Every structure is written in C-alpha cells, then in structure tokens.
Structure 1
Amino acid sequence: MLKRPGNMVILTVAISLLLLLIQLLIRVDSYFLSDPLVKMIQTMSLWKQGWATESILYPAKDMDPDFLLSPFNEGFVFLNNHRLIGQYPIALTFLYSLFGFLPFSILPYFNIIFLFVFLRLLTKNSIQISTLILVSLGTVVFPLLIDFSENGPFILLTGYGYMFLMKAFLKDKKEDWILGNLFLGISLWFRLEGVLFFISIQIAIGFIHIFIKKEKILKSIHPVRYLLFAVILSLFLLWNTYSYSHPLGTRHLTNFGNSDKTIYDQLKIFLSMAFTFPRPNGWSLGFFLQSPIFIYSILKLRKTQIATNLNLLFHLLIVILYLLIAGLTSPNDGITLTGRYLVVIVFPLTFILNEQLNDLKKNKWILYPIYTWMFLFSFLIIAIF
C-alpha cells in the first residue's frame, strides 16, 4: 500500500481526469449555450481584432449599426459607448485570448489544470483524503469547472488569497499579507465576489485580534493588511469607470437592473443561493442543498472547540460574515447553479469539515446518506448542463 503522499497524488490526478472524461463524454468543445457562448465570442473577438477593441465582432454591423437585429438579448450582450460588448469580465477574455493561436474549441479543457491545482492547494494545507473527495466531487466546484467560464481562475485566486491571509492571521508576516492581498485583488477582476470575500476575511481577523486577543485597534488596521488590495480595487474601479462609465463594470450594468427589490425579495435570493426557493421555472439548487455536510459539520461544533481553537473561529466567522454580506448584496439568484455565488466559502468550510470529519464518521448512518446525496447532486447539476 502506498504512503499517504502517494495516495494524494494518485487521487488528485484521478479526480482531474474524471473532469476531463466527463467533458469529453458531453463534448464540451462542440456546444456553447448562453453564458459560455458569449464568453467564447468575447474571447474570439478580442483575439481576431488584435486586442484593439473589446467590441464583439458582428458580421451584420454595416447593415445593422445599432445592433437591433443582434441575436443576443440585453442580459448577455449590450451596447456600451457605441460598442457591442458582453457582460463578462475583460480579465477572462484577455487571459484566454492569449491562447488564440490554438483552436478555440479546446479552451474548456484547460479546466483540468485549474482543478488539479485546486486539489494540490488543499492537500498542501493538510486536508485529508476523505475531505478532499467530498470537497472536490460533492460541492459546486466540480460542476462549475465543466464548461468555459471564469470560475477556474477565480476559484484558484481566491483560494491562494485565503491561504495566505490565513497564514498572515496566524503568523503576522508581511509577505503573507501582501500575497493574500495580491491574489484576492486580482480575483475581483474575474468576479465581484472577491471584494465580499476580502471584506469578510478582514472583519473576521479584526474581530479576533481586537475582541479575543485584545490587541490595540491601530495595530489591527495596519496598512499592510489591506493597502495592496485597496490599490488593485481602485485600479479596477477606475478601469471600469473609464471603459464602461460605471465603477463596477459590465456585471453591474447587467445584473443590478432591478433597483426596487424589497427585503423579502433579497431574502428569497439568499434562500435560493444557500438552499432552494420555488420559482415559476423550477426550484433553485443552492450551495448547502448540494453540500449539506458543511451544515452538519458546523452544527456538530462544540463551544469548547470554538473557544479554544482560534483557527476554527477564524473559518467560522468568515463563513457567517460572507453569507450575511452576499445575502444582502447579491443582485440575482441565477438560473440553476445558484451555489456559484457562495463558491468561495468552500475554503473556510473545508477546514471546518476537515477538523470535524473524524468525529462525524462515528455516525455512519447519517454520514453515508449525505455522501450519496452530495455526489448524486453534483452529477444532477452536470446533467442539467
């Protein structure tokens, strides 16, 4: 029998190859629907125009200069500053357009690289095999990496940012603060949730340092803890203001159109993201509905664990804070994969689950049905795709 490091490498490769196999079986290179289609068109347009403009190539532009006959609705492609542009981030488009010398149809298969690095990141931070299998195959991470999207780089950037800020929380080393700020700062160019995640982490760290460790407030707000992120965020806002006439960019312009939401509407959105909520076109598939093991692991936490283990408190506070902030600010609940808005809390939840799993295994009659539910749910979401 191989030693644990050998098992980890084999498992990491096997799970990554499973993703590739599913992509090949469903021919992810031959179909693109809605979001992935627009993302691919944005990428191809940028490459073919030599990065001179972000405007989408439109063959009928001479006949239809106002794009009135464009096949895309305004939820995906819209006019902005006399350009027909997609709602998806320029960071995604630019990153993949660098590989325009390759057939564009192979770009979705790059996700095997992101999954492999994601798994290696967890194993290098002492995540055990059982936890690794659950987190990789039983959460929204795996389905999100099936098709062409920004989810791969976003998950990795937030993951590395989280790990470095966790180390900064534990050891207070300047380089860890800087790297954590850097990775999370870059992540927000792919998805706006990077801002919410950074805020949640900083509030959690500040709370523990001030109220638990009794540090001075001035020490807890030292610029090294947030300055680089603030600089990158400022550049992001300035770029969007210059390029799209709004500091939050295209995602805001297309997702925040409903400005008259009530508290009840926002509550429904939160329930859709976290669990489920009935809608005219079907029930939503929320994060914790797919992965109830996380709720179970939190409920089984003992007060003494939280009181004596600041690491656990750190992870738990971030989960609570992010859920609260995301629930209050999310513009919509998506169509089916509502769990994608909460994908970043996979990292703190993984550490909580890893800490609890050996105790949870004592009650196999509860744990095995949860395992089965999670794996079936992941493949149900893939089937919906």
Structure 2
Amino acid sequence: MDFDPETTLSLAGQDLDDTFNSVLPPLYQSAIFQFEDVGETKGYDYTRSGNPTRTALEDTLADLDGGAGAVACATGMAAVSTVTSLFDADAHLICAHDCYGGTERLFSHLAERGTLAVSYEDLSDRNALADAVRPETEALWVETPSNPLLRIVDLEALSDFADTHDLLLIVDNTFLSPLLQRPLDYGADLVVYSTTKYLNGHSDVVGGAIIARTEALADRVDFTANAHGTVAAPFDSWLVLRGAKTLPVRLRQHETNARAIAHFLNDHPAVGRVCYPGLSGHPGHEIARTQQNGYGGMVSFFVDPEQVDVRAFLGSTEVFALAESLGGVESLIEHPATMSHASMAPDQRDEAGITDNLVRLSVGIESTDDLRRDLDQSLTAAGPETSSTERQHTSIPPVEA
C-alpha cells in the first residue's frame, strides 16, 4: 500500500525487529556483523558499508523523495563532499551565487587545489547560465529557496536546461524537506540534505543525506560514500529517524509562525525588504506556489541601518537565540555576513546580496505571539531612541561554521 508522508514517517523502521517486534526501530550500535559462512552474510558485514539502522533511515528518505536510493552521511557537508567526488578531476560546476557559505567554502577549496572549477551564477538568468556552460561542465548546483536570501528558481526549467546540456541537476532541499518540495519530481538527479535541520528537528545531531533519482546513480553514490567513509553512524541515524517521525506536525507550526513573522516584519517601519516566498510580493512567490507544498519556516530580512543597530538588535532578543543552524524546534536568529556566510569573500557576498544589514531567522514552534513580541521589542531596543550606553552590543566576530 502507498502511504501519505505522515504515515510513512510514523511507521518508519517499524519492521526492522523480527526477533521481538518492537514498534520503535532498534539501534544496531555494532561495527561488525558475523558471517553466516564464507562469503555469506545476512546483508551486513561492516557498518561503514551498511547498517540496519542507517538502512531504515535511507529507505525512509528515498521513499519520501521518490528516489531510487539514498545514502545517509555523517554531516550535511559530508553529503556535499560525497557528491563532488562523483565528478571528473577537471569537472566544472555551475552553482547558485547565493548558496550556503559552507558549500561555497568547500567548492572554493577544491577550486584552489585544481580539482574542481566552479562558476557562481544567478540561476534564474538563462543567458548567464548558457554563457557559463563549458565543455567540461558536469552539473548545476541549486538551492531553492536559497540560503540565506530565499530566492526561488524554476526547477522544471532548470531540468530542461540541464537535459539540453547533458548536466546533472543537484538540488539542496534542506530548507524545505521532502514534505514541502520533491525536486526529483521536477527532473532533479540528486537531492542533498543537511538532516541536522528540519528532518531531525531537535538540534541534537549532525547529519546529511543524498537521494538519487536512478538506481545507477544511487549505486555510484553508495560506492563513493563507502569508499570515502562519509556515512552516518548508527546512533546518529537513529536520532534522525526518531526526529523525522514528528516532521509533519513540526513543519505546520514552523510555517504558521513564519508566515506571521514575515507579515509582521513586512509592515514594520524599521524593516526593509522581507525575504519569504509565502508573501505575495516575493518575486518567486508564483513559482514557489506551483513547485512547493508550503513555504517553510525560514525568513530573512534587511533592517534599515538608519533606524536599527543590527548588532544591538541581534543581542536584544529573548526568545530567538543568536546561533547558527536552522530547522530545530527552537527559534534562531543569525547574521549571515559574520556567521553562516563569513567564509565567503566580501565581494562575493555583495554580489549575491548578502549585506551587513541582512538578518536570517529560523522560526521555531514557540508561541506565535511571543515570537512577534520578541522581535518587536528587540527592534525597539536597537532603535535610534535608545542611547548607545543603554544598548547591549553583542560582539560577533566572523566564524566559519
């Protein structure tokens, strides 16, 4: 029987225990498995190559995304790194110019070593894309919504472009999860996640995942992850699987709160542009409405530097914690220019639109009213009527997470 995602997640791993029929999936915290005979196993021999707990997570993720197979990785960046290892040594990649800072850092590191060439482009500009393609171009790397500006690109159009030029289409779907967007349905070849974020949802484990559209590509990813040892540990896999069971109900509250916060900020006199695809004025709203099942819990916005001291604002919140990451039940606030995207070169940040007055929110599942009041009081506390001696300036040195 084909189940809806809510049921799939609720039942995930339930058939793993034939011995005692436990309802929750057991944790196979074993590095090795005994052979039945020479050359014969029950499907597992060494946990780097395969583990029943990790398989339960991988099967669940592949099912949710409609993929032929999945590999759970140790971190989100381990997933990104594994995908880059699929390319030839002289490969060229076209990447979204406003991608996650950790992704850009890895790509730039590989480019400096001469093992990968990367062009950063506005993926909605078809002419720029066409000009960027080279004979050695192998893939498009896409974020939609992008991190941190929540730009939206048309996945079906990019799929057509990738097919025309014989490129892999790779989509980082971390901001939405497979419940709100299934890139494989629109022609993507690979989907990448940081499972640390919404899929786990409790900020207590780091992980990543890669889902492949075809069995052949799934086999390549599995071989590469095993060869590089980038796979997730059993306990980490169990934690993500446990967290994912509540993903549908968490996402509903995340989005309810994010919508309310986006509308509140959109009407606030000290706030400039608000980046949330759920707003009808967002330039990607119509595309998001057609290819997404919701708008998610991420909101970014630009404060008016004439009215708000951004550092004082970041240091004044009581509910929103000043921290990196996203997708957990708790609300987080961060400053991309000095935190999540600090590793990007300043001129590259400027070109992408990641300016010093940009703030990113991961809106949690707390009371909507409390979240709204917290931002309101923080914007007031950081305003021009509050003297500099009264402000609690927070020192935010650049970090590279």
Tell me the TM-score normalised to structure 2 length: 0.27
Which structure shows the higher helix fraction? 1
Which structure shows the higher strand fraction? 2
